[in-house]
Structure 1
């Protein structure tokens, strides 16, 4: 039987076997459920020692064939994401910066700039940052080669601090110590600031070693409680099997959603498959 030690999300040894399934490469993988934070953890025995470096190299290789035309098209598509969160972003006014951290090729940073927001971002991969600067004409000082914790330390001493909103777009599931990173980012925000995030739910396409864990609705609720933030938006019924959510600091005027922590493995799996059923049902209706 596969064994893992600590949950990559919360760091505790509260993992129990949830199911065995196929991963993205059709390998049989054991998925563990954390009874503390409700993350879903795929078991892969060979884990890299330098997680940040490994993740940066993985994503640089993944996007190595990007053409300028592709990157421009994808960045233009990200404008729809910026527009979707317009009400949250406009609330802060022009004086507050919007950050895009772990932003890969800079697609979202460029989209934010195109919509007139004061934005800057970072990524740990020098190659992906080069693509963003070169193909999307993002000024060097607005998109830097840094891991998120390093960026956080530097940002605290800049005139733009504190920020209004921070985007973590398919980032949290890759982090070595997500709680520590999220706490450091919370400190960068205004007292009414928000973290806007999207990440993968349980789906064969998203089970691979670089996804250190997968979200569940309860996991996102747990993150909000652990960070002493409000969960003010959650959508987990997408056809793509992504969860999108917004966490706010306590002074934000929006009301927090009611949070349920489904820690029992049988209840958790029922909840996950219920979410999948709803997503499939909604997809068929369009």
Structure 2
């Protein structure tokens, strides 16, 4: 164990203590409907007031703010975050300092600023999307919707590129080379998964996908791992034929663990076929059906 590893915990707890104290001191009693009270020397709320509003023990919250090595559950951190009126970035910061990185409320999505959608739209006719580390598709442009109508039409909990690849039946699965693309994508996914070991959301996603797809379960068991990079991908559509692309991933620093993925056709024929799908959305819509 390196010196950096052994000192990371105490440094994180020191940061946690300072962060909680600063967030507490910016909220006045009047902000939360409490009387100011006499002889108040503490700026903002007192520790016991935060504990009372969050519904947690005074001693526990005091120890948390003092940076003591105590366990913090998802429910308690969410209550503290609500009491301190933390925004999305502040909540994520709190969870990571408390070493509970997957404590965001279920269904919470990364808030992307409007500029990202503008960038995606400006890339048309190139299909492009924004995804998180797990492969959940958060935003896309019209060209991407034309290329993957089944994915954008799915429920948010299933709007995931890995889920689409391994669960869509052959009649409407656009992936033309699953035997090649599948192992590569799973290997890259394992590399990203290694950064989120123990996080409930990631573990549950893998469990569900293993149950839904024997092929994914087989590839996951292989333990192969690979770094993300520019990747050739082929897709096939009954009305237009094969579309050959190369994907480029670009990390978005403003939203950690989020990336923009652009699909560039590798030949003129593929470029024309993407244009046809974009101009005729009813062709792709025919692929969206129940089984």
* Category of TM-score, reference length = shorter chain: under 0.3
Relative to the length of structure 1, the TM-score reads: 0.25
Relative to the length of structure 2, the TM-score reads: 0.24
More strand by share: 1
More helix by share: 2
